[in-house]
Amino acid sequence: MSLSRLRRAPLIASLALVSVLHTSVVAWAQSPASTPGAAGTNAAGTNAASPSSDAATAGAREQARTAYGAGREAFAAGQYAAAAAHFARADALVPAIQAKYWRAMSLDKLGDVAGAFAAFGVLLTDAQKDELGAEKLEAAAARQRELAAVPADLVVTTTPAGAHVQVSGVDLPTPTPLSLRLAPGRHELLISLPGYESQRVQINATPGAELRPSLTLLPQAAAPLAAAPGLTAPPTDVGLAALETGSAERSLVPGYVTLGIAGASAIVGTIFGIRALGDKKDYDDAPSTKRADDVERNALIADMAFGVTLTLGITGIVLLVADDSAPQALSRPSQTAGLHLLPYVSPRGAGAAAALSF
Residue 245 domain-assigned? no
Residue 315 confidence (pLDDT): 81
178 in the same domain as 115: no
137 in the same domain as 62: yes
Residue 213 confidence (pLDDT): 92
159 in the same domain as 131: no
| Of 182, 201, 318, the residue nearest 250 (C-alpha) | 318
Largest CA distance in the chain: 208
Residue 143 domain-assigned? yes
Q: Considering its fold, how many domains does the chain have in total?
A: 3
203 in the same domain as 112: no
CATH for 194 = 2.60.40.1120
State which residues of the chain have pLDDT below 50.
1-6, 9, 11-13, 15-49, 231, 233, 235-247, 326-334, 344-347, 349-350
CATH for 123 = 1.25.40.10
144 in the same domain as 192: no
What is the C-alpha to C-alpha distance for residues 39 and 53, in angstroms, rounded to an integer?
12
Residue 83 confidence (pLDDT): 94
345 in the same domain as 264: yes
What is the C-alpha to C-alpha distance for residues 306 and 225, in angstroms, rounded to an integer?
58
CB 340 within 8 A of CB 329: no
Residue 228 domain-assigned? no
259 in the same domain as 347: yes
Residue 223 confidence (pLDDT): 65
Query: DSSP character for 353?
Result: E
136 in the same domain as 186: no
Residue 21 confidence (pLDDT): 43
Residue 177 domain-assigned? yes
62 in the same domain as 120: yes
Residue 351 confidence (pLDDT): 54
Query: Which one of 148, 166, 199 terminates a domain?
Result: 148
| Of 18, 53, 194, the residue nearest 10 (C-alpha) | 18
Residue 91 domain-assigned? yes
Residue 226 domain-assigned? no
93 in the same domain as 143: yes
Helices (H), the chain: 3-29, 51-76, 80-93, 97-110, 113-124, 134-148, 237-244, 253-285, 289-321
Domain, as residue range, for 284: 253-324+335-357
212 in the same domain as 273: no
pTM of the model: 0.45
How are beta strands 152-159 and 214-216 bridged, if at all? parallel
Residue 118 domain-assigned? yes
157 in the same domain as 141: no
Query: Which one of 216, 231, 264 terminates a domain?
Result: 216
Query: Which one of 148, 168, 185 terminates a domain?
Result: 148
